[in-house]
Structure 1
Amino acid sequence: MKTRLNAGHLVAVLAVAGLLVLPLYSALSGNIFVLTLFTRIVIMALAAASLNLIMGYGGMMSFGHAAYLGIGGYAVGILAQEGIGSGFIQFPMALLASALFALVIGALSLRTRGVYFIMITLAFAQMAYYVASGLARYGGDDGLTIYKRSDFSGLVNLSNRVQFYYLCLACLLLTVFLIWRIVNSRFGMVVRGLRSNEQRMQAIGFPAKRYQLVCFIIAGTLCGLAGALLANNTDFVSPAVMYWTRSGDLMVMVILGGMGTLFGPLVGAIVYLLLEELLSQITEYWALIMGPLLLLIVLFGRGGIMGVLGRLSRG
């Protein structure tokens, strides 16, 4: 057990250390693209980490998690369109809107189990997608261009690539720390217990749906933060960010890295998005290669990358 934990810690330390020094490499090499790419990776890792909280630790297989990415992004875009450019207003509104949407989805979907839970979360996400597509004032299907990034009164300049990258990285690391505190708290142990045996936890007096709903809202709020960052990163938000395939991408990142592991979503996001970028440079039919490759990893890499590393270290 000790060796496995050390192997996991080593991978996490190397990943975080690499992310911390990445802007230095970008500056020395003059490669601006790598900083842009990893900014997106860090943001998607944050979204994947929020999904891992409910899917990996809570056993709630949400297929509509990308809806919060879009809600957080549209909160920033709509406020910017209406002349409210302060990040101190945009970001809290993005978090609040995502939390409220998660409350509604969770209150309804947690009444069901299994495939019904998956389908209800998917249905709500698709509903949000079609609502955003119908917002003609804010671009409709074409999306909404954000002409000015969130303003934090000089504390951080989001137009500066390095400052924005470190803001995204700080949000990711704080999110990972928050999830670590949650899953190791009494609340988190109850959530993990519900994943293992909900009936037994209810029999000993724990209100299952209440704990699961709070966990669901926390995950949605954190993903809304990723959506606000993503909108600032691309200077654009569109309904496509809410589509069910984006939720599938987040699930793949979590499963690839290792469900129920603290840094699994980060590792999964790095590997998945780097593979996507590499294969897309080779052929326009990169998805035909990516699909079977991911399938092989899932079939033969039980527990994801972190699980494979754990078995290798034990061997």
Structure 2
Amino acid sequence: MADFSVPAAATPAPRPLWRRIWLPVLVFALLALVPFIWGERFILGLVTRAMIMGIAALSLDLILGYGAMVSFGHAAFLGLGAYAVAILFSHDIVDAAIAFPVAILAGAAFALVTGAISLKTRGVYFIMITLAFGQMAYFTATSLSPYGGDDGLRMFHRSELFGTKVFASDFTFYFVVLGTLIACFLLLRAIVASRFGRVLRGAKENERRMRALGFDPFRYRLAAYVISGAICALAGALFANLGMFVAPAYMTWQRSGEFIAMVVLGGMGSLVGPIIGAIGVTLVEEWLAAITQHWKALFGPMVVLVAIFARGGIVKLLDRGGGR
């Protein structure tokens, strides 16, 4: 009788207890304390933005860290989620109970269609086709003249929730975003630890063997791609509410590159790593931008140094530093 169990190679080796439990708890606890320690509106907005980027980076880590799918069009999902909320808002549909599910469905639908095509390719061809789809979404957004075109679309206030203005307070919205970040982290950790996650990792390590065991890697990769797109669209819905503004710039390939940098710098395939990477990249960008308008010239070498001396990301560096 054939053995259809997931091979041992597909099951990740046990990770240090501190990384699996204590590091995420520490990160989320510190984020929860921020409003009480630094309650200024600027700080709240900056860290809220970092957490939203953390949700987007988490979604990318599912396909990049666990499925080896390097997407250069991931920002399209962020933009789709943001535009879904803003366009509905322009038609007087302001309730998050309607707008957010629509944003998630829009991201999932776009991921399903584009993923079904993109996943027929591998390597650099996958990178190029996801880049092409991302640019297609970007130029579609710029051509939406009724919704601002190049100038973007403004929302006059944040979404409501069942008729209440829960999101109106920066303090409350901060904890809504933090709660969403924690929920996405727990959801993705459950997915990664499940049989689905083991098959996804197994296909990354040895696709031929997974096929021999009776699994279809394409179906699992497509499902992961759709989940990733849906979660990133949710981040886009939150991002639209943060600044009460959306623009085609949300969908540029440079933004997709930032997401990849966040995942790689934080630690691919660790879930908590992309959150740390997103927070680090957002804060460092803000700090460097305050020093010089040419901050990217400083940020680039910093990324290179981290990539050289902290292979595996910040989480791996902490491992080597005695975090075991």
Q: Aligning the two structures, in what range does the TM-score lie when normalised by the shorter sequence?
A: over 0.9
The answer to whether the 8 A contact 1:7-1:313 is kept is no
Match of 2:213 in 1: 204
The answer to whether the 8 A contact 2:78-2:236 is kept is yes
Match of 1:303 in 2: 312
Which of these residues, 231, 243, 250, is aligned with residue 259 of structure 2?
250
Cα-to-partner distance string for 1:139-191 (whole Å, 9 max, x where unaligned): 00010011121110256611100111111111100000000100000111000
The answer to whether the 8 A contact 2:95-2:163 is kept is no
Deviation at 1:20, TM superposition (A): 0.7
Deviation at 1:8, TM superposition (A): 6.2
The answer to whether the 8 A contact 1:156-1:163 is kept is no
Matched, 1:135 2:147: no
Matched, 1:20 2:32: yes
Which of these residues, 258, 264, 267, is aligned with residue 273 of structure 2?
264
Change in Cα spacing, 1:68 to 1:314, as seen in structure 2 (3 Å) is closer
Amino acid of the residue matched to residue 62 of structure 2?
Answer: L
Match of 1:221 in 2: 230
User: For 1:107 and 1:192, how far apart are their aligned partners in 2?
Assistant: 19
Match of 1:100 in 2: 109
Match of 1:80 in 2: 89
TM-score by length of 2: 0.93
Change in Cα spacing, 1:107 to 1:140, as seen in structure 2 (3 Å) is same
Cα RMSD after superposing both structures: 1.6
TM-score by length of 1: 0.96
User: For 2:230 and 2:22, how far apart are their aligned partners in 1?
Assistant: 29
Cα-to-partner distance string for 1:98-145 (whole Å, 9 max, x where unaligned): 000000111000000000001001100000000000000000001001
SS at match of 2:270: coil
Matched, 1:182 2:191: yes
Amino acid of the residue matched to residue 299 of structure 2?
Answer: M
Mean Cα deviation higher: 270-279 or 40-49: 270-279
User: For 1:86 and 1:210, how far apart are their aligned partners in 2?
Assistant: 34
Amino acid of the residue matched to residue 23 of structure 1?
Answer: P
Change in Cα spacing, 1:175 to 1:7, as seen in structure 2 (3 Å) is closer
User: For 2:226 and 2:102, how far apart are their aligned partners in 1?
Assistant: 15
User: For 1:156 and 1:180, how far apart are their aligned partners in 2?
Assistant: 31
Change in Cα spacing, 1:233 to 1:3, as seen in structure 2 (3 Å) is closer
Cα-to-partner distance string for 1:7-46 (whole Å, 9 max, x where unaligned): 564433322111011111134xxx2211110000010000
Contiguous gaps of at least 5 residues in structure 1: none
Deviation at 1:68, TM superposition (A): 0.4
Match of 2:68 in 1: 59
Change in Cα spacing, 1:220 to 1:279, as seen in structure 2 (3 Å) is same
Matched, 1:43 2:52: yes
Match of 2:156 in 1: 147
Contiguous gaps of at least 5 residues in structure 2: 1-12
